[in-house]
């Protein structure tokens, strides 16, 4: 039911986010986080990697029955959609009169999808469906794709930001 789905979303997605946001200011104020930025960053990255790995394993364990040609077509579609969203965000930033650094921020943040949030959402909304792996496939393709594209764009975006007058 809709009420059950909302309750599961609240406990699996919203509650951890809320607790994290509420704990952050007191932990920063007490100096608990000082000097641990690298460790916390590595921990966060490791947890995300674990989520990605377990999702891939679960998806392939269940079998998602997508022929290679269909998977390749889906990857091409996801890549094209990502590229068009990057272009659109960049253009909208220009129309809004944003400076280069602001346009870069808009372009990258507006187009990023998070696997850490997306997988729990898909898991709750489509719980119990035998084709859950298939439904997760676009997100599983999108996540590494956006990391790859972001790393490829970084040198050029860095140059654009550096050329901007202060």
Alpha-carbon distance of 142 to 149, in angstroms, equals: 10
pLDDT of residue 157: 95
Report residue 60 as tokens.
């392939």
pLDDT of residue 84: 96
pLDDT of residue 56: 72
Q: Which residue has the tokens 């792996």?
A: 133
Report residue 12 as tokens.
């699996």
Q: What is the CA radius of gyration of the chain?
A: 19
pLDDT of residue 64: 64
Determine the 3-state secondary structure of 71 from DSSP.
helix
pLDDT of residue 62: 66
Task: State the Cα angle at 108 between 14 and 33, rounded to 5°.
Answer: 55
**Grouped pLDDT means (10 residues each) for the chain, 166 residues:** 86 86 86 83 82 73 75 94 96 96 94 80 83 82 89 94 86
Q: Which residue has the tokens 């990023």?
A: 112
What DSSP element (H or E) covers 124?
A: helix 115-125
Which of 74, 71, 73, 111 is CA-nearest to residue 89? 111
Residues 146 and 83 sit within 8 Å (Cβ to Cβ): no
Alpha-carbon distance of 136 to 115, in angstroms, equals: 10
Report residue 99 as tokens.
């400076």
């Amino acid at each position: 039911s809709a009420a059950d789905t909302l309750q599961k979303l609240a406990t699996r997605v919203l509650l951890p986010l809320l607790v994290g946001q509420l704990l952050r200011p007191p932990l920063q104020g007490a100096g608990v986080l000082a000097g641990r930025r690298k460790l916390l960053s590595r921990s966060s990255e490791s947890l995300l990697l674990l989520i990605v790995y377990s999702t891939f394993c679960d998806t392939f364990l269940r079998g998602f029955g997508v022929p290679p040609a269909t998977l390749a077509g889906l990857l091409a579609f996801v890549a094209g959609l990502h590229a068009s969203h990057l272009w659109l965000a960049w253009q909208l930033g220009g129309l809004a009169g944003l400076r280069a650094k602001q346009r870069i921020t808009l372009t990258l943040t507006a187009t990023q999808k998070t696997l850490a949030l997306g997988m729990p959402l898909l898991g709750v909304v489509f719980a119990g469906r035998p084709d859950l792996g298939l439904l997760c496939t676009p997100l599983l393709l999108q996540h590494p794709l956006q990391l790859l594209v972001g790393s490829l764009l970084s040198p050029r975006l860095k140059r654009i930001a550096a050329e901007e007058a202060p």
